A = this chain, B = another copy of it.
Amino acid sequence: MKFEVFVTLKKEVLDPQGKAVENALGDIGLNTIKNIRQGKYFTLEVNETDENKASDLVKSSCEKLLANQTIENFKFNKI
Residue positions of A touching B, CB distance < 8 A: 6-8, 18, 21-22, 24-25, 28, 30, 32-48, 57-58, 60-61, 64-66
- Interchain CA distance A43-B8 in the complex, whole Å: 9
Oligomeric state, in copies: 2
A42-B28 in contact given A33-B57, A58-B33 (Cβ < 8 Å):
no
Query: Does the CB pair A32–B8 fall under 8 Å?
Result: no
Of the residues B28, B34, B40, contact of A64 by C-beta under 8 Å = B28
Q: How far is the CA of A37 from the CA of B43 in the complex (A)?
A: 5
Query: Could you tell me if A46 and B33 are in contact, using CB atoms closer than 8 angstroms?
Result: yes
Q: How far is the CA of A38 from the CA of B65 in the complex (A)?
A: 13
CB distance from A64 to the nearest CB of B (A): 6
A42 and B38 within 8 A (CB): yes
